Structure 1
Amino acid sequence: ATGAARLSALAAARSGAGAVTVLSPANAVQVNAAHLTSIMLKKADSIADVQEFIDGRRPSAFVLGPGFGVGEKTRDFALGVLAAGQRQDGRVDGVVLDADGITAFRDTPNVLFEAAHRLDAPALVLTPHQGEFARLFADIAGDKNFSKLAKARSAAKRAGAIVVYKGADTVIAAPDGRAAINGNGAPWLATAGSGDVLSGVIAGFLAQGMPAFEAACAAVWIHAEAGSRFGPGLIAEDLPLALVPLLRELAENRNGMTAE
């Protein structure tokens, strides 16, 4: 499902990542090349290919999971990128795990959590919807005594990760207990590919040095606000460009200017 990765990549670029590369299996390179212009493209069929890219290009942030497929390869790629944070060269600062990247660990969640808890591991951001949340945190999800806020906080502590528990009232929680509830969600965002765009925005902010919790909070609000302003008829392809006037307005306000 190559479109999901391209949506994430375009969103990362629109949110300020600067240089964005899609790592693509060889059998999808031609399809991706036909749809990418400013986004770079590199073949990556193995974790060795990914490590070569990390060592050569030193990327700050990764998104892994959208359209990736579920299986051992997905787990290997995710664990390999998380392990790259322990290297002196080619350090990765942040990893956003979404969609298939989350589901791939449904039978072995502790393997992912142990990797996230390791010293010098990159910041990990998990972006599950309700079903994906239950795949990683079945006992927490099934506890009727927990509110959604309590579930997100408990999951973040266990995982050693920022958890973005998506929904109409998205909850963002950190392992240290910090949490935020985003209240500007819009029904127009319930469209295929919307979550891929959100993952890309988070990565775009991580790539600019924003701390993981703040990057997730900012991305969730901006993603929802862009969807709200666009309104009915929104599809995921609209969202990256819909971010632009909103980001410009925020930048102008920060600089003490009045936005039109």
Structure 2
Amino acid sequence: MRADAFFAALERMPVAPLEAILGTGGLVVVAPHPDDESLGCGGLIALACAAGRAVRLVVLSDGCGSHTHSRTHPPERLRALRETETLNAVAELGLAAGHLSFLGLPDASVPSGGPDAEAAARAIAAAARACEAGAVCVTWGHDPHCDHRAAAAIVALARPHLGNARVRVFAYPVWGWTLPPETEVGPPPAGVRLDVAQNIAAKRRAIAAHASQTTALIADDPGGFRLEPAMIDRLCGSHEVFVELPA
């Protein structure tokens, strides 16, 4: 299926309540970078926390690839900053700091296989067992970023170890929305849309907490990454989409 048809189909998926994703269990969100959790799943996290569900966030990469030429923010300082930003972001969504794991894999080089990927998969499985997860959500395997695709591969490695065969896995697109329309992305989607209209303000605050990615906070790297307002607006609509991935 072409990307334009795929995304049109996403907009026709049924709107469903939180229970359609989580069942009676908790939630694990896997983010390739610090900020993907807010961009793709901010509304879901807020709804799950408000409903009293156990939520865990696993951030795979250290986020140090966003400003590689900054002298004021060398890798260790940038890594610490991005972890702090993530803690501040999820606090806006209702998630406590103790429920985050930062795995520190290299930004732009998150592995899809091998020992480090297997270790990350075990960490995700441990998080799922800790919160008795009903669902694991990870970036879409067709997102045009190597780390997003690697995250999907790592969750596939984790599936046999989740501790509950009924744990469902869902993909959330982030950069997939920018794919050229003619890109082939596989079969039609199956999944749900989640109404997050009541959580848009909290989601925007969470995204804004990632100031290194949304503002000129790091001013000495003109080529550094910055999220465009139009992209943020695209991801802050009234619904988040979750594509179910078959076992």
Pairwise same-fold verdict (TM > 0.5): no
> TM-score under structure 2 normalisation?
0.34
More strand as a share of residues: 2
More helix as a share of residues: 1
- Higher RCO (CA-CA < 8 Å; seq separation 6+): 2
> TM-score under structure 1 normalisation?
0.33
